[in-house]
Amino acid sequence: MYPPLGLLQIGGYLKKNGYDVEILDAPLEPNPFLYIDRICKEKDILAVGFTVKTGPPLLFAMQASYYIKRNYPDIVIMWGGVLPTSMPEEVLRQTFADYVVVGHGEESSLAICNAVRDGKRDIEYPGVCYLKNNELYFTMQGPFSHHHPADWDILGDKINAEQSPYLAALMLSKGCPFRCSFCYHQNTLDLLSPQTQRWFPKPMETVLQEIDTLRARGVNVLTFIDDCTLMNKNRVKLLSKELRSREVYIEQCISHVNTLDSEVIEEIAPFTQQIAYSIETVSPRLQKILNKRVSVDHVKEVDKALARNDVNSIHNFIFGIPSETDEDLRKIIELAVQLRQINPYLRLTGIFCIPYPNSTLEGWLIENRKISITRDLRILSTADMYSRSISPVYQPWITDPDDKQFYEDFYYLFDAVFASWFNSDDERVKSLLKVKRLARLFEPALGLEPVPGKAPYLLDEQLQAPDTPYPLVKKRFLTDRVG
């Protein structure tokens, strides 16, 4: 599990400005409500903030907000994160949240805490949204300007040493310059800088401050979870230089395929385990709907360069896009087979298409299909965005029971063949491959050679023998088979 990185940044900024901060990471607590009771009784709590997205985290935030308001009515509740940024008014009207923070939360959260401390409830500050006399009040954020480092000390003894160093997730930037129609960034960035800058690199001195904090804890393998880690070549070279000087490895980073080429890959390959980027779809028609143009030829060239440099890769596809055809899915399978032939160890995953509320993709759906996503938070809280089942909440255009079953079976087969490393003894796989429609789609994959053993984790040697000279001389797992 990754740590609550956004809350460490917000909490660090609050600490810097004189507030004590406690973080409840609900999955780590046997009973989060007992934790809430203990903290609220032991300390003079001014405000509680939740970072919220749809699915189970939304359900917990709704329940916990109700619990706090019922038992500790003087405590102010503020919500932020992906869902409140997309649906601030719905959150204020359907939950016990007093304020919604729209967009980046560090400075807005501090403004709320300062106002509440001083006895004020009307807060005219960028990014702060609230109801007064049943009317919505909101001040739009201006262009993003400040990065605040995560404060790892807030976690205290909650850091799981057995999971170290993989829990050490960092962000080198915020935002994204690409405008994929399904992405939550669209909602946030249109509120911050609709016509100007959309990618905000964190100053390198701030990045290095966080890295040095983790190194002091004995962590020298990091995961970068921002969407555009490798966005700028000059910045990549500077980062490479600093990581080498600190003898730090990258477990995984994420980027857009259009930011990757041989020069970037070769710069970071000696100390990098894996690079992830999403492909989504091969169909130019569906790429237009998703507003994500990806060249198949470039994808293959990038994966060849990764394999040559013994960097593994992981890619994501989207299934169930409105107007998708079997031919579109067949082209995904054909590309997946080609990528597996380039690197037998790469991992390909899928997700069902989700038009996030108020996203550009939902706008397309409303215009072309007269369908929208529900604004009822109770319903959104029961639907897991990453479910392997077609949901009437997130895929309301898939209504035929046969189509629903087809997509769920397709997902299972795709995962079995390309993500879980095909198990020939899987009885469900055998059964599904007897279905004519699925057999035709997966026919290109049936001749794939079995994966040659367990996927190598190229940093295992360094982790098991930390005295190995830096940088790790990788065994040629990938290159030997790619040629």
Question: pLDDT tens digit string along 454-482?
Answer: 666 667 666 666 677 787 666 555 655 55
222 vs 65: which has the higher pLDDT = 65
Q: What is the pLDDT of residue 450?
A: 73
**One-letter amino acid of 262:** S
Q: What is the pLDDT of residue 421?
A: 54
pLDDT-derived band at 189, boundaries 50, 70, 90: low
Lowest mean pLDDT segment, chosen from 117-131, 302-316, 333-347, 457-471: 457-471
Question: What does the pLDDT look like over 48-81, one tens digit per residue?
Answer: 999 998 888 899 999 999 999 999 999 999 999 9
DSSP state of 203: P
Can you tell me the mean pLDDT for 19-37? 91
Cα–Cα distance between 5 and 222 in angstroms, integer?
13
Cα–Cα distance between 429 and 409 in angstroms, integer?
9
Domain 163-353+395-445 has CATH 3.80.30.20: yes
Nearest CA to 94 out of 126, 37, 52 is that of 52
Nearest CA to 230 out of 180, 176, 193 is that of 176
pTM of the shown model: 0.90
- How would you classify the pairing of strands 76-80 and 47-51? parallel
pLDDT for 165 beyond 60? no
Task: Read off the tokens for 440.
Answer: 């035709």
User: 204-216 vs 233-246: helix axis angle to the nearest 10?
Assistant: 30
Cα–Cα distance between 397 and 417 in angstroms, integer?
27
Cα–Cα distance between 107 and 146 in angstroms, integer?
9
Return the C-alpha torsion angle 144, 149, 153, 158, nearest 10. 60
pLDDT for 161 beyond 60? no
Can you tell me the mean pLDDT for 301-313? 92
**One-letter amino acid of 154:** I
pLDDT-derived band at 483, boundaries 50, 70, 90: very low
Nearest CA to 197 out of 180, 181, 229, 175 is that of 175
pLDDT for 390 beyond 60? yes
Domain 5-138 has CATH 3.40.50.280: yes
Can you tell me the mean pLDDT for 112-136? 94
Q: What is the pLDDT of residue 284?
A: 96
* Contacts of 219 by beta carbon, 8 Å cutoff, 6+ apart: 164, 165, 168
Can you tell me the mean pLDDT for 279-285? 96
Highest mean pLDDT among 22-31, 94-103, 197-206: 94-103
Q: Taking a C-beta distance cutoff of 8 angstroms, is the pair 58, 377 a contact?
A: yes
Supply the mean pLDDT for the chain. Answer: 88
* Contacts of 235 by beta carbon, 8 Å cutoff, 6+ apart: 201, 204
Phi-psi domain of 155 (left: phi exceeds 0; alpha: psi -120 through 50; beta: other): alpha
Q: What are phi and psi of 314, to 5 degrees?
A: -140, 135
Q: Taking a C-beta distance cutoff of 8 angstroms, is the pair 60, 38 a contact?
A: no
Distance of CA 304 to the CA centre of its chain: 25
Q: Domain spans of the chain? A: 5-138, 163-353+395-445
pLDDT for 94 beyond 50? yes
Can you tell me the mean pLDDT for 278-292? 96
Nearest CA to 220 out of 468, 474, 475, 466 is that of 466
Domains 5-138 and 163-353+395-445 share a fold: no
Can you tell me the mean pLDDT for 98-109? 92
